[in-house]
Structure 1
Amino acid sequence: MIVWLNGTHGVGKTTTSALVQRLIPGSRVLDAEKVGETLMDITPGLPATDNFQHWAPWRPLVVDTARRVLEYTGGTLVMPMTVLVEEYWREISEGLAGHGVEVRHVVLHADPATLRTRILEDHAMGPSPFRLAYVDAYAEAARTWLHDAAHVVDTTDRTPQQVAEQVVATVNAVAPADARR
């Protein structure tokens, strides 16, 4: 099974994924961003883009990497990764389903004002123009498709530990037939 933690940059996916891993026995974190970083190392050769998710190989490579890791290790993968383009999410989730991999899609949510404040006050990464640039794109995806395609956990007034516990409770409460893709 995969617990896919979606949501915009700065909402807490990386922090939450480490905490979720501690709460789900036999789980591992697989950051799909590493697949994008690998593709970014292929220079020159790939078209210029502001987001490696736009490169066609990224999505099937994420699917193949995740399924092969699961075949090798078993257990649960916790995958923190922002995916705001519906077509890309469909390609990934349908690809995983085609390999018999169950996906529990959870969106970590915070309102735009809270997100901007968190990003601007982030002591580890500092104020990030890249992260700020995705706040409005997240709000649009949430409004048009993303919240309908996932279980939403509001992070606004929760500690990271509370968010992780809510994610695990959500994952455990979802029957396989009810898992959103």
Structure 2
Amino acid sequence: MIVWLNGTHGVGKTTTAALVQRLLPDSRVLDAEKVGETLMDVSPGLPATDNFQHWAPWRPLVVDTARRVLEFTGGTLVMPMTVLVEAYWREIRTGLAEHGIPVRHVVLHADRATLLARIAGEHAVPSPFRLQYVDAYAEAARTWLHAAAEVVDTTHLAPDEVARRVADVVGAGAAPGVSTPSTTA
């Protein structure tokens, strides 16, 4: 199984992934960003883009990497990765389904003020990359993302509480404070 932790940059996916991995037996963290970093190292470089997810090879490589790791290790992969383009999410989800890999799609959410404060508090100068996706996340959340996932509102939760909520969602259905979508898209 894959537990895909989605949400905008700076919401706490990487921190949560490490904590969730400790709560789920026989689980490992696989960061799909590393697949993108590999593509960024191709020389000469691939066509210019502001996000490696726009490169067509990234999505099937994520699927194949996850599939192969699961074939090798079994268990559960916890995958922290922002995917805000619905077509990209559907491509990944469909690819994993074609290999018979169940996916629990969990979106970590924080209200705008909390998210901006978290991003500002990370470094002396807030990350322009993270800031540029705040509005894109809000639009994706409004139009498709929250309907395609189970949402954990992290606004007033400590990281260990977020991880417990995610583990509860994965292990026993929706936990209190978690909205469950009417679709499994």
TM range (shorter): over 0.9
The offset of 1:112, in angstroms, is 1.4
Question: Is the partner of 1:104 in helix, strand or coil?
Answer: strand
Distance 1:126 1:30, change over 3 A: farther
The alignment of Structure 1 onto Structure 2 pairs a total of residues equal to 178
Shifted more, 76-85 versus 108-117: the winner is: 108-117
Give a deviation string over 1:61-111, Cα, whole Å, max 9, x none.
000000110000000000000000000000000000000000000000011
The offset of 1:172, in angstroms, is 1.4
1:164 & 1:74 partners in 2: Cα distance? Answer: 21
Shifted more, 143-152 versus 107-116: the winner is: 107-116
Q: Does 1:180 align with 2:179?
A: no
The offset of 1:179, in angstroms, is 8.3
Distance 1:29 1:126, change over 3 A: farther
2:113 & 2:44 partners in 1: Cα distance? Answer: 38
Aligned alpha-carbon RMSD (Å): 1.5
Q: Which residue of 2 aligns with 1:14?
A: 14
1:95 & 1:29 partners in 2: Cα distance? Answer: 19
Q: Does 1:57 align with 2:57?
A: yes
Runs of 4+ aligned structure 1 residues displaced above 2 Å come to 178-181
Q: Which residue of 1 aligns with 2:169?
A: 170
Distance 1:166 1:97, change over 3 A: same
1:82 & 1:46 partners in 2: Cα distance? Answer: 21
The offset of 1:45, in angstroms, is 3.8
Structure 1's unaligned 5+ residue stretches are none
Is the CA contact 1:119–1:126 (under 8 Å) kept in the aligned structure 2?
A: no
Question: Is the partner of 2:157 in helix, strand or coil?
Answer: coil
Q: Which residue of 2 aligns with 1:89?
A: 89
Shifted more, 15-24 versus 40-49: the winner is: 40-49
Is the CA contact 2:147–2:183 (under 8 Å) kept in the aligned structure 1?
A: no
Structure 2's unaligned 5+ residue stretches are 175-181
Q: Which residue of 1 aligns with 2:98?
A: 98
Residue correspondence of structure 1 range 141-156 to structure 2 within 5 A? 141-156=140-155
Q: TM-score under structure 1 normalisation?
A: 0.95
